[in-house]
């Protein structure tokens, strides 16, 4: 059995009859027709342009998979066309085949390659040779696009939690570390909120692991939908989520913790398959900078200490870590504030 997901397993060879557009640029209608006839078995859509300006508009509007252009044209010639396309964000990888009918074959070819031309042919051309070159360039282009998609997917997987679709702990810590450096430089505070589902083991034991996964996905979606601009959210592990608040004082951190705690407690997690399911969460908050909290790991540990105390004191509450009093400020409602020592 393959250890790779289906998306990463070897795929069949790319077929050249897959839907693909070609942009044919030549001031001679007869030449455009001849080129079209030579590559008719490779492409499904044909876009024609008699000059460089029209070709540029077509390239932007149609996004062709390959461009075939003559060098000599009125106004914007083939060289300027290639140079302009290569300067576009979308034109860097599109293969371009150039034609020339002049006697300056070597000079034209070198000038074209210098500007970014993929291939070069002389007129009159051989139909079979043009078809072979166009097919080869198209296949290479398709492979590059597929590789780019795979790389983007791999990159996403390295920073994303597979179950919830949120950022994972690794990405969170890297991003938070950068924010802490900015905070130190500009003198603003950073707050972490560690959110832990109360009695999550009971959920798994009562309704099964699938129900537990559903709760995690629903909670991740809920938190993501209600987080404010500038709040970085990630799954921290198991039944825990973590949020980074930028430029946030302790009082505001506690208000945010209360906001999320109430949001979770009031949300309907039950379903037809899991009736009467009520979920609450405890939240531990910690703010940087303060004594004993100088790096990301220490801020996570401080928030974890506050979360542990919140669960120990009865759950469904928020606590703020405070090293100056060697304890936590606890809130279950906005009006109940107590100082609790952490031993």
Catalytic residue positions, numbered:
239
Look up residue 285 and give its two tokens: 């908050």
Give CA–CA dist 249/296, Å, rounded.
17
What's the Cα-to-Cα distance from 130 to each of 28, 40, 66, 121, rounded to whole Å? 18, 11, 13, 8
Give CA–CA dist 247/14, Å, rounded.
51
Q: Which residue has the tokens 């034609």?
A: 99
Instruction: Report the b/e string of 227-240 with b at 16+ CB within 10 A.
Output: eeeebbbbbbeebb
Burial of 306 (0-12, 13-18, 19+ CB in 10 A): buried
- Those residues whose C-beta lies under 8 Å from the C-beta of residue 168, and which sit 6 or more positions away, are 159, 160, 161, 234, 235
Residue 92: asked if its preceding bond is cis (omega within 30°), the reply is no
Look up residue 300 and give its two tokens: 């996570």
The radius of gyration computed from the CA coordinates of the chain, to the nearest angstrom, equals 30
Nearest to 67 by CA among 110, 30, 88, 15: 88
Look up residue 21 and give its two tokens: 């557009």
What's the Cα-to-Cα distance from 32 to each of 10, 48, 209, rounded to whole Å? 38, 7, 63
């Amino acid at each position: 059995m393959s250890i790779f997901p289906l998306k990463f397993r070897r795929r069949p060879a790319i077929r050249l009859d897959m839907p693909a557009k070609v942009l044919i640029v030549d001031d001679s209608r007869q030449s455009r027709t001849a080129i079209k006839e030579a590559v008719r078995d490779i492409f499904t859509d044909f876009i024609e342009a008699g000059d460089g300006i029209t070709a540029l508009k077509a390239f932007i509007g149609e996004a062709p998979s390959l461009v075939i252009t003559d060098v000599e044209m009125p106004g914007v010639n083939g060289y300027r066309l290639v140079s302009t396309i290569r300067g576009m964000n979308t034109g860097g990888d599109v293969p371009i085949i150039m034609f020339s009918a002049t006697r300056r074959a070597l000079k034209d070819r070198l000038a074209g390659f210098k500007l970014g031309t993929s291939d070069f042919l002389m007129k009159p051309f051989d139909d079979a040779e043009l078809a072979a070159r166009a097919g080869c360039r198209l296949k290479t282009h398709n492979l590059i696009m597929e590789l780019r998609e795979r790389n983007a997917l791999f990159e996403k997987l390295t920073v994303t939690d597979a179950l919830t679709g949120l950022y994972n702990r690794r990405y969170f810590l890297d991003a938070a570390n950068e924010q802490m450096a900015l905070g130190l430089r500009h003198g603003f505070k950073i707050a972490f909120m560690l959110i832990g589902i109360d009695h999550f083991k009971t959920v798994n034991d009562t309704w099964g692991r699938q129900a537990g996964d559903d709760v995690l996905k629903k909670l991740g979606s809920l938190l993501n939908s209600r987080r404010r601009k500038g709040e970085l959210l990630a799954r921290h592990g198991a039944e825990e989520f973590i949020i980074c608040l930028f430029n946030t004082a302790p009082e505001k951190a506690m208000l945010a913790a209360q906001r999320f705690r109430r949001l979770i407690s009031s949300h309907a997690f039950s379903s037809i398959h899991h009736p009467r399911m009520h979920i609450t969460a405890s939240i531990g908050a910690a703010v940087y900078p303060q004594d004993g909290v100088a790096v990301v790991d220490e801020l996570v540990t401080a928030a974890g200490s506050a979360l542990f105390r919140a669960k120990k004191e009865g759950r469904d509450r928020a606590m703020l870590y405070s090293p100056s009093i060697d304890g936590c400020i606890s809130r279950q409602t906005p009006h109940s504030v107590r100082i609790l020592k952490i031993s």
